[in-house]
Amino acid sequence: MAANIAALRSRLRTDLADPAAERWTDDELDRHIQHATRDLNRSVPRELVDATLAISNPPCRELDISCLTDLIKVVTVEYPVDGYPRRLRRFELWGSTLSLLMDHMPEANAPVTIYYTARHTVDANTCTVAPYLEDMVLLGAAGYALLGFLAATHDRVTVGDGRTAQELRTHASDLLMQFRQDLMSIKRERQPVLVGGAPAEDGR
């Protein structure tokens, strides 16, 4: 598993046959890795659960969810927690305020569980991309790197193996096509943890 962006960059250099950094700077490859990671976020975001929130005292139906870092989407909200079947509440979200759409007032200090998706983090200290997705990110990053290199050199280049600029452009397009197909495939395979906004029984 990659520990950080430096480890991913090293693997990307190997894929691009540029171990001595003759064609791409570290910053350039980092930018392409982040580009591919943003694509990953749209199809395969992180699936997280936060169980640290609680109803205020005195109670109200609103929760401040600003603590959910890198939030993309709240999938569903469980209240009260630990029941069976789970009590999944309808909700509205405005900014960082989540409002439970309940007829009755919730109980003060009662815990609330939030199921949500979040952006992946790839930086100098962290890589939250799962190991089975790392090769996919590197596939996309390689395609973006080749296209960027060709654009910067006005297509008058080869990259180490004698291929013409047009051949490299075709190769880059093939990499990105495969990357996007892989993203769509895994997006179809993934099932949500819970159904967002599902109605709950009105029991307390």
Count CA within 13 A, CB hemisphere, residue 151: 7
Please, which pLDDT band fits residue 53 given cuts at 50, 70 and 90? very high
Shared domain for 112 and 19, answered yes or no, is no
CB 120 within 8 A of CB 41: yes
Residues 128, 111 within the same domain = no
CA 155 to chain centroid = 32
Amino acid at 137: V
- Dump pLDDT digits (tens) for 149-175: 988 776 555 555 566 788 889 999 999
Q: Is the dihedral of CA 27, 120, 72, 179 positive or negative?
A: positive
What is the reported pTM? 0.84
The answer to whether residue 107 is domain-embedded is yes
Q: Is residue 31 part of a domain?
A: yes
* Residues 31, 128 within the same domain: yes
| 72 and 108 both lie in a single domain | yes
Question: Do 87 and 126 belong to one domain?
Answer: no
pLDDT, tens digit (0-9, with 9 covering 90-100), for 10-19: 999 999 999 9
Q: Which domain holds residue 178?
A: 5-43+122-189
* Mean of pLDDT values over 193-203: 47
Identify the H or E element spanning 142.
helix 131-152
pLDDT on residue 64: 98
- Would you say 114 and 196 are in contact if contact means Cβ atoms under 8 Å apart? no
Q: What is the mean pLDDT of residues 95-113?
A: 97
Split into its structural domains, the chain has a count of: 2
Q: What is the mean pLDDT of residues 107-112?
A: 98
Domain boundary among 63, 84, 118: 118
Domain boundary among 118, 146, 165: 118
